[in-house]
Amino acid sequence: MMLDKPAISYSYLLLRGSFLALISLSLGACVTASIEKERAGVTGLEEGEGVVIMAKSYHLGNETENDFINCVGAAIGRGRGGLRVVPNQEFVDALFPWFEPRTAPADTKGLPDLMMRPGVAQMIKEKGVRYVIWLDGTTDRVAGGGSMSCAAGPGGGGCFGFAWWTNDAKYEASIWDLAGLEDAGTVTADYTGTSFVPAIIVPIPLLARTQSKACKGLADQLKLFIIDEPKPI
């Protein structure tokens, strides 16, 4: 008499799942990073001076995520060499309507005229803003594949399959010096990360935190750019 055996045993499934997870881990949810800096002028901060993080105008098609702007602002303000960050909305409201998406200067050539407007220079001084950091760019999914299906029944449920996707976070930060009314330079960050989700009964997400790594990387470089780097002779 032969006993009925399940076609695929649970131990086999677990073994296969662990194997896939190991392969995925060895592939890693890795992120590759590239950061470039272009300095146009001498930077530095005096006592009481700070920065404000702004998104380039959506009137020009810019789609920079608010979460990313908040993340960069928070990251610049904490840790070693943290800068004083004036909240974006507070700055925009105090200078209304001169930093609205429609009215903000397109480039540093517009700064002298902006400063001549009644009350603008005084308000910027009052807020203690020395640098405006304009962010441009987005995180996009550039590739993906695989498939996964999940099912549930009276005896339990599970997922089978393998999915992956690649995100590309490309951002550019332009730094304007409001004291010298000039362009201080640009920092660009390009981070690419691939995430994997193998699933044998239980999905194991191996996520590449591309955007948050880009946020931290860009913020660290901006801090260095503004205060830590030796001034050119």
Partner 1 sequence: MSGWQKTFSVALLIAAVSACSTHVSVRDPHIPDPLITAMPLSVGVRYPQSFDHFVHEEQVIGKEKWQIDLGASNKILFNKLFNAMFTDVTLVAESEDATTLGLDALIEPSIDAFEFSVPEQSQTDSFAVWIRYRIKIFDRNGTQIANWPINAYGKSQTSTFGGDEALRRAAVLAMRDAAALIIMQMDKSTGISKLINNDNAMPTTAEPAVQQTAVEEQGDDAR
The residues that touch partner 1, with contacts defined as CB under 8 A, are 56-60, 63, 65-67, 93-98, 100-107, 109-111, 113-114, 116-120, 123
C-alpha angle 78/184/170, rounded to 5°? Answer: 65
Whole-angstrom CA distances from 208 to 72, 163, 194, 205 are 18, 13, 6, 9
Q: Which residue number, 38 or 100, has a Cβ lying nearer to partner 1?
A: 100
How near is the Cβ of 122 to partner 1 at its closest, in Å? Answer: 9
Q: What is the dihedral of CA 109, 112, 113, 119, to 10 degrees?
A: 140
How near is the Cβ of 206 to partner 1 at its closest, in Å? Answer: 22
Q: Which residue number, 36 or 140, has a Cβ lying nearer to partner 1?
A: 140
Take residue 150 and report the two structure tokens written for it. 């999940």
How near is the Cβ of 121 to partner 1 at its closest, in Å? Answer: 11
How near is the Cβ of 33 to partner 1 at its closest, in Å? Answer: 23
Q: Which residue number, 62 or 166, has a Cβ lying nearer to partner 1?
A: 62
Phi, psi (deg, nearest 5) at residue 123: -65, -40
Residue pair 196/165 in contact (Cβ under 8 Å)? The answer is no
Residue pair 52/198 in contact (Cβ under 8 Å)? The answer is no
Q: Which residue number, 78 or 109, has a Cβ lying nearer to partner 1?
A: 109
Cβ-proximal residues to 171 (8 Å cutoff; 6+ apart), any chain: 64, 68, 135, 136, 137, 138, 188, 189, 190, 214, 218
Q: Which residue number, 37 or 127, has a Cβ lying nearer to partner 1?
A: 127
How near is the Cβ of 126 to partner 1 at its closest, in Å? Answer: 11
